[in-house]
Amino acid sequence: MDISKIFKILLIPFIIIMFSGCSSKENKETFEQKMWQIYKDNGRLDKFNEIQEKYDGNKIILWLNAKEDHSWIVNHIIYWLSWILPDPPTVLAGAGVLAFIYGLAWWLGLVLTGGGILALLAYIGSLLGGIPGIPPAIMGIIYLGVLFEILINIFSVL
């Protein structure tokens, strides 16, 4: 796929958000109240309170776990990223150029983080030698898995 096509696909939603902004309809219900109602409808108020307390009321995590639980790793990664970046619903409510810059930064951060992890796994796989036909990143995963298995066995004996 051509880079210009990808750029156009990503640019169109941001242009729409920049010019349309948020609706002018008055909404008397806050985001937290809406989420509380969704959790109540699903019979998960205890989970709502747990997430509110554990993740400091992070809006994305509340929204993501509204209907079903997601894994702790997903919730923690989003929580850690929200320390660095501002809350997306708050930024997107302002719309405009800031929303475009924020969306682009979020996308780049996630892509570069994933690429960095893949590069590290490939480096480990190529450093320790590989099996012909198996990509170095997969060998890095295998080597790390074996390493952690050995560590678990060592510490289970102690």
Q: Dump the DSSP string for 99-125.
A: HHHHHHHHHHHHHHHHHHHHHHHHHHH
Do residues 108 and 141 both lie within one domain? Answer: yes
Supply the DSSP symbol for 36. Answer: H
Which helix (H) or strand (E) segment holds residue 15: the answer is helix 3-20
From 94, 111, 141, give the residue that closes a domain.
Answer: 94
Do residues 37 and 90 both lie within one domain? Answer: yes
Q: How many CB atoms lie within 10 A of CB 139?
A: 20
| pLDDT 10s digits, 139-149 | 888 888 888 88
In terms of pTM, does the model score above 0.95? no
Inside any domain, residue 11: no
Do residues 110 and 67 both lie within one domain? Answer: no
pLDDT at 107: 72
Domain ranges, residue 104: 97-158
From 94, 110, 129, give the residue that closes a domain.
Answer: 94
Do residues 112 and 147 both lie within one domain? Answer: yes
**135 φ/ψ sector (left φ>0, alpha ψ -120 to 50, else beta):** beta
pLDDT at 70: 80
Inside any domain, residue 30: yes
Count of structural domains within the chain:
2
From 74, 94, 114, give the residue that closes a domain.
Answer: 94
Do residues 32 and 84 both lie within one domain? Answer: yes
Round to whole Å and give the CA distance between 81 and 84: 5
Supply the DSSP symbol for 30. Answer: -
Look at residue 20 and tell me whether its pLDDT is greater than 70: no
